[in-house]
Amino acid sequence: MSEKPWGGRFESPTDEFVEAFNASTDVDARMYAEDIAGSKAHAKMLCQQGILSSEDLKAILRGLDVVYGEIESGELEFTIALEDVHMNIESRLTALIGDAGKRLHTARSRNDQVTTDTRLYLRRRTDGMIDRLRHLQSVLVLLAEEHAASIMPGFTHLQTAQPVTLGHHLLAYVEMFERDAARFLDARQRMNQCPLGSAALAGTTFPIDRYMTADLLGFDAPTANSLDAVSDRDYIMELLAAASICSIHLSRFSEELILWMSAQFGFIDLPDAFCTGSSIMPQKKNPDMPELVRGKSGRIIGGLVAILTTVKGLPLAYNKDMQEDKTAVFDAFDNLEGCLRVFGDMLPGMKVNKEVLHKAASSGFATATDLADALVRAGVPFRDAHEIVGKSVGHCIREKIELHAMDAAACAAIDARLNVEMVRELSVEACVAARDHIGGTAPQQVLQQVALWQQRLATGATASDSTMGSGE
């Protein structure tokens, strides 16, 4: 009985199954470094405020270092009997240093402690995620530079629409990942406030200095309302929303890579190291990594739904339901980081079949819009031009030829305004080169965007300036 830090008012022990069911060590053990940093900051503040003696502080700081070492080396194993990372560490500290360890929890509750640890932990992981996003962006920018003028079909409705450059297509994902990084940064900034001192829910009777703990832990400020601070899980929702959107971008990208690698498309080949074979069909090389990444978005989005639903009906302030908050976000972060890593490592080895891409862009009447534009420039109203080109396409389908192969007689038969020169000038190169404005697919524009991105990624704030405050 006495081994539970809260056991005083209890007469009989916890049910054995409940003990295991109630425990969160398997999920929260990974926050041990943050828990120890938080305890160090709290102890220093207690001492500065005259709430803890300097002898006790010294013992606590030394003891926490020992506990940290024991966890790192695997010497200290957490027990579910002590429920979570917080009570395991405090109990080991007390075993090491005695009464001073028992004084550490003055003016603190696990309710402010757990959300402080979680914010610190997720702040570090968010910085890591942003770094992964930046890396993937640089990989894509490099590929975009190489393929600034590689022509491929652009699709709408997955039907050939107009020629685009592969560089332009890849830079579309650089834009998406930029918004993802911005969402993570935005959430990071909002969550970077220190709940310590909110205690159980109402604050504490001790003369604490919340600015000091906030500062020691690298937070921008203390939270302003104790009830809000211990029950707020917005930051987990926001991070999971950012993670979900990012995973959707990766999933769309995956879908394209999977299509492009099929024999029917034949646009690309992914490196062997990121594919697997079939145990029965010897010819198979399957794009497992994009498929798995596409699949991961399901569980990451599941995590977002889980946290939203968990918090939805909760009265203020802390409720035990909230222990479920970490499972989803940790799982989502582990998996999303894995996805970003796999893409960053896989894409530099992607083989692009430029001839196949070019051929695909040159068939399927991808230049039809440009023929209509040429008629418009010759004074034909756009709707008439659309009709004339539509008839031309019909003619070509019947004759099994491409638009540029139409002869003068065929042009004249369709419409007197259709000049064979316009038809002969059609080329996919001309199509992409003509879209030469900001946001357009012209190789020129792609190279300009590449240069801009290279500059931004080299100088950009990567949020790696975070300081957890080692507590030193």
Which positions are annotated as active-site residues? 157, 278
* Residue 136 phi, psi dihedral angles, 5° rounding: -60, -40
Lookup result for tokens 């524009």: 445
Which part of the chain contacts ligand ARG (CB under 6 A), choosing from 109-117, 160-168, 241-249, 445-453?
109-117
Least distance in angstroms from the C-beta of 114 to ligand ARG:
4
Output the smallest distance, CB 94 to ligand ARG, in A: 18
Q: Choose which of 34, 35, 56, 84 interacts with ligand ARG (CB under 6 A).
A: 84
Q: Considering only 106-114, 269-277, 304-312, 399-407, which stretch makes contact with ligand ARG by CB under 6 A?
A: 106-114
Stretch that binds ligand ARG, among 48-56, 221-229, 240-248, 316-324 (CB under 6 A): 316-324
# residues near ligand ARG by CB under 6 A: 11
- 152 membership: H or E segment, kind and range: strand 151-156
CB-CB contact of 219 with 468 (8 Å): no
Q: Which is nearer to ligand ARG, 110 or 296 (CB)?
A: 110
Residue with smaller CB distance to ligand ARG, 112 or 145:
112
CB of 315 to ligand ARG, least distance (A): 14
User: By CB neighbour count within 10 A (0-12 exposed, 13-18 middle, 19+ buried), where does 159 fall?
Assistant: exposed
Query: Using CB under 6 A, which of 88, 111, 247, 449 touches ligand ARG?
Result: 111
Looking at this protein, which amino acid is placed at residue 180?
D
Q: Tell me the backbone φ, ψ of residue 140, rounded to 5 degrees.
A: -70, -35
One residue of 28, 34, 35, 56 binding ligand ARG per CB under 6 A: 28
* Dihedral class, residue 83 (left if φ above 0, else alpha if ψ from -120 to 50, else beta): left
Q: Which stretch binds ligand ARG (CB under 6 A): 135-143, 168-176, 187-195, 319-327?
A: 319-327
Residue 154 DSSP SS3? strand
Instruction: State the Cα–Cα distance between residues 231 and 288, nearest whole angstrom.
Output: 41
- Give the nearer residue to ligand ARG in terms of CB position, either 114 or 431: 114
Binding of residue 119 to ligand ARG (CB under 6 A): no
CB nearer to ligand ARG: give 191 or 347.
191
Select from 306, 322, 371, 375 the one that contacts ligand ARG (CB under 6 A). 322
CB of 160 vs ligand ARG, minimal distance in Å: 53
| 323 in contact with ligand ARG (CB under 6 A) | yes
The DSSP annotation for 122-144 comes to HHHHHHHHHHHHHHHHHHHHHHH
3-state SS, residue 49? coil
Q: By C-beta, is 110 or 294 nearer to ligand ARG? A: 110
Out of 42, 92, 108, 110, the residue judged to bind ligand ARG by CB under 6 A: 110
The least distance separating ligand ARG from the CB of residue 59, rounded to whole angstroms, comes to: 25
Least separation in angstroms between CB 431 and ligand ARG: 58
> What is the CB neighbour count within 10 angstroms for residue 209?
16
Nearer to ligand ARG by C-beta: 34 or 84? 84
Question: Is 91 an interacting residue with respect to ligand ARG (CB under 6 A)?
Answer: no
Residue of 294, 295, 297, 273 whose CA lies nearest to 346: 273
Residue 80: CB partners within 8 Å, gap ≥ 6?
19, 20, 23, 25
In angstroms, the first-to-last Cα distance of the chain is 35
Q: Does 247 bind ligand ARG (CB under 6 A)?
A: no
Sorted by sequence, the CB contacts under 8 Å of residue 315 that are 6+ apart come out as none
Whether the CB-CB separation of 120 and 168 falls below 8 Å is answered with no
CB count in 10 Å sphere of residue 318: 20
3-state SS class at 39: helix
Q: How far is the CB of 328 from ligand ARG (least distance, A)?
A: 13
Task: Name the segment binding ligand ARG (CB under 6 A); options: 204-212, 220-228, 248-256, 315-323.
Answer: 315-323
Q: Buried (b) or exposed (e) across 163-190, using 16+ Cβ within 10 A?
A: bbbbbbbbbebbebbbebbebbbebbee
Rank residues 113 and 254 by Cβ distance to ligand ARG and give the closer one. 113
Q: Which is nearer to ligand ARG, 31 or 268 (CB)?
A: 31
Q: Which residues bind ligand ARG (CB under 6 A)?
A: 24, 28, 83-84, 110-111, 114, 318, 320, 322-323
